[in-house]
Amino acid sequence: MAHIVFAPSIQRHVPCEEQDVAARTVGEALQAVFAREPRLRGYILDDQGSLRRHLVIFVDGLRMRDRDHLSDPVETGSEIYVVQALSGG
């Protein structure tokens, strides 16, 4: 099982506890979470099913590459962190 964590800044909008999920990709991990908390989907994904621009996901410390299909691999024991992206100057 992979472990998925949502940053406190996301949980202010939609409460979502850390969870262990069975998944082979980031997309599968998110779908498992959405099954438990459907309101989270609209905050994380856009209407095309892609990761929203204001978010970033790290898998085992590496930034996720496939923002559109969420196909980055996840392994048993992977740590997935969903955080708001920082911007500014």
For the segment 15-54, what is each residue's pLDDT rounded down to a tens digit?
Answer: 889 999 999 999 999 999 999 999 999 999 999 999 999 9
Which one, of 1, 63, 59, 49, lies nearest residue 26 by Cα? 59
Pairing between strand 2-6 and 19-21?
A: antiparallel
Distance CA 61, CA 37 (A): 25
Domains of the chain (ranges; CATH) run 2-84 (3.10.20.30)
pTM of the model: 0.92
**Residue listed under structure tokens 């498992």:** 32
Distance CA 28, CA 30 (A): 5
Decide if pLDDT at 88 tops 70.
no
